């Protein structure tokens, strides 16, 4: 009688907040909770076994709640992970486009390099939750399996691109510095020529219309800085070709071996 009352007390205490508190728990905790429900289901008698308690939800309903939570967690986490890394991969594909893209890639490399262990643990966690679904409930559906494969392929591609882009930037470091130095010298020379232009000739003629001269000076100034800016931004850097080809089904992914 005492054991049965304990079962009904457990079921009676179940709530949405208790279910929500399971979000983010280790996969082993999900398994323990499911096994606990299975044991309760095997030991449960009739509600009359503990008449002090009011009617409670069936154990099967709680079990279904846990499955729904697992599916929600794996789907949400997979989609968020794929979306975040896809944008970074797109940036990495254009690493050699211009100086500013190289700078952005360098920042991303540094940012994610310190998170590789955590990201691997994140992927492993999603896989572990999928394993719980398969071991305790049912096989993954085709769409669920496809999402898991896409998660793993995205991660493999990201690891590969982190290494490739890092190697590319290191190998081009000296040439990038030389190109920036050359662009800076060209920009300095052009600005000096512009300075000479605006301090001689009609700009020093008091007979000229001051408003017209002011507008002309502003135009020349903007043009000079724009030319210098563009020259520094778009040096003769060839596009990065480390990863050739994209997945047919996932165009944001670079070519890596398909997962079996």
Among 46-50, 128-132, 186-190, the minimum mean pLDDT is found in: 46-50
The pLDDT of residue 80 is: 98
Residue 53 has pLDDT above 60, yes or no: no
Say if CB 58 and CB 41 are below 8 A apart.
Answer: no
At residue 45, the 3 state secondary structure works out as: coil
The mean per-residue pLDDT over the stretch 128-154 comes to: 98
The mean per-residue pLDDT over the stretch 33-49 comes to: 68
Among 36-40, 148-152, 153-157, 234-238, the minimum mean pLDDT is found in: 234-238
Q: What pairs with residue 246 in β-bridges?
A: 254
Q: What pairs with residue 254 in β-bridges?
A: 246
In angstroms, rounded to a whole number, what is the distance separating the alpha carbons of residues 11 and 41?
10
Residue 100's closest CA among 242, 231, 252? 231
The pLDDT of residue 181 is: 81
Say if CB 81 and CB 222 are below 8 A apart.
Answer: no
Average pLDDT, the chain: 79
Q: Which two tokens stand for residue 139?
A: 């096989």
Question: Per-residue confidence at 171, pLDDT binned at 50, 70, 90?
Answer: confident
**DSSP 8-state assignment for residue 200:** S
Question: Per-residue confidence at 154, pLDDT binned at 50, 70, 90?
Answer: very high
Residue 108 has pLDDT above 80, yes or no: yes
Say if CB 99 and CB 235 are below 8 A apart.
Answer: yes
More confident residue, 225 or 127: 127
The mean per-residue pLDDT over the stretch 162-176 comes to: 86
The pLDDT of residue 177 is: 76
The pLDDT of residue 81 is: 98
pTM above 0.75, yes or no: no
More confident residue, 255 or 8: 8
More confident residue, 235 or 189: 189
Residue 65's closest CA among 103, 30, 111? 30
Say if CB 147 and CB 81 are below 8 A apart.
Answer: no
Residues 213-249 have pLDDT tens digits of: 888 878 877 776 666 555 554 443 433 343 333 344 3
Residues 67-82 have pLDDT tens digits of: 999 999 999 999 999 9
Residue 177's closest CA among 78, 240, 63, 99? 99
In angstroms, rounded to a whole number, what is the distance separating the alpha carbons of residues 8 and 57?
10
In angstroms, rounded to a whole number, what is the distance separating the alpha carbons of residues 109 and 173?
15
Handedness of CA 140, 146, 149, 150 (dihedral sign): negative
CB half-sphere exposure, 1, CA atoms < 13 A: 6
Q: Which two tokens stand for residue 151?
A: 């998660």
Residue 258's closest CA among 108, 146, 167? 146
């Amino acid at each position: 009688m005492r054991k049965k009352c304990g079962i009904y007390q457990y079921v009676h205490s179940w709530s949405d907040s208790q279910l929500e508190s399971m979000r983010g728990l280790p996969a082993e905790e999900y398994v323990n909770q499911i096994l606990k429900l299975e044991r309760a289901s095997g030991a449960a008698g009739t509600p009359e076994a503990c008449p002090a308690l009011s009617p409670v939800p069936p154990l099967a309903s709680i079990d279904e709640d846990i499955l729904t939570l697992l599916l929600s967690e794996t789907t949400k986490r997979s989609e968020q992970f794929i979306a975040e890394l896809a944008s970074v991969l797109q940036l990495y594909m254009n690493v050699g486009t211009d100086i500013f893209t190289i700078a952005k890639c360098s920042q991303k490399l540094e940012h994610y390099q310190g998170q590789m262990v955590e990201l691997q643990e994140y992927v492993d966690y999603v896989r572990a939750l999928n394993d719980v679904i398969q071991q305790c409930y049912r096989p993954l559906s085709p769409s669920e399996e496809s999402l898991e494969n896409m998660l793993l392929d995205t991660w493999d591609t990201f690891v590969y691109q982190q290494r490739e882009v890092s190697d590319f930037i290191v190998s081009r470091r000296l040439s990038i510095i030389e190109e920036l130095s050359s662009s800076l010298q060209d920009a300095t020379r052009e600005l000096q020529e512009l300075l000479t232009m605006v301090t001689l000739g009609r700009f020093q003629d008091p007979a000229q219309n001051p408003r017209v001269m002011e507008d002309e000076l502003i135009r020349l100034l903007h043009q000079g800085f724009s030319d210098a800016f563009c020259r520094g931004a778009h040096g003769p850097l060839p596009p990065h070709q480390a990863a050739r080809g994209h997945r047919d089904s996932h165009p944001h992914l670079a070519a890596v071996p398909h997962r079996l």
